[in-house]
Structure 1
């Protein structure tokens, strides 16, 4: 029996809450579903959705450790988002000051893709559908 239905959310811990909140809402375009400050943990929790689908929990914690690995290390490699028009998407992100890698073509699917990083260097991929 298949119990898993879909990915529910991705949890991200950031080092600068306001900077990451701006990046995920103003640059990537996520909508804020709920924002909570948890006094006991000195931590924000920001629930974000994309096109009405809840998908990211953005957390802040006092003095979180730095990211210790690059994409080819064990663990989560990156998060990826689908785009319809790669040229329009890369032009938009570049206009917002986001530095993107050169657009490449997936040798197996023939689809275009590129990478950039969030404010804490978390790799993010754009993949053309």
Structure 2
């Protein structure tokens, strides 16, 4: 039987590298592990960590094709981040200029959550753990 241990990372291709780099590092506060420019691909690769754990690879490419990204589109539905206090997290994101949906309550767990988007309209979620 396959013995998966954990999710290693999530890869995201962005349309504007500097804008997305700012969003993920300054607005969300992820830590930069390594940033490289791959000349042969005309592409940046930014490795990001959350609380010391490698979590996201942010890529740039010269002309990436658009992709539907709303939660109901086929494929990855959204990327969720756990927070301990959703109201505080929402206030901090709003202070950074991020627009969020109203906080909702998960009907099965009773936990609070909300959605917002990254600069490429990738759906992101805050989930109170």
| TM-score normalised per structure 1 | 0.97
Note the aligned Cα RMSD (angstroms): 0.8
Which residue number corresponds to residue 88 of structure 2? 88
Unaligned stretches of 5+ residues in structure 2: none
Which residue number corresponds to residue 107 of structure 1? 107
Unaligned stretches of 5+ residues in structure 1: none
| SS of equivalent residue, structure 1 residue 57 | strand
Which residue number corresponds to residue 38 of structure 1? 38
How far off its partner does 1:65 sit? 1.1
Contact persistence 2:69–2:77 (CA under 8 A): no
Matching of residues 1-129 of structure 1 within 5 Å: 1-129=1-129
User: Aligned pair count?
Assistant: 129
| SS of equivalent residue, structure 2 residue 97 | coil
* Counterpart Cα distance in 2 of 1:43 and 1:116: 26
* Counterpart Cα distance in 2 of 1:66 and 1:28: 23
| TM-score normalised per structure 2 | 0.97
* Counterpart Cα distance in 2 of 1:69 and 1:87: 25
How far off its partner does 1:71 sit? 1.3
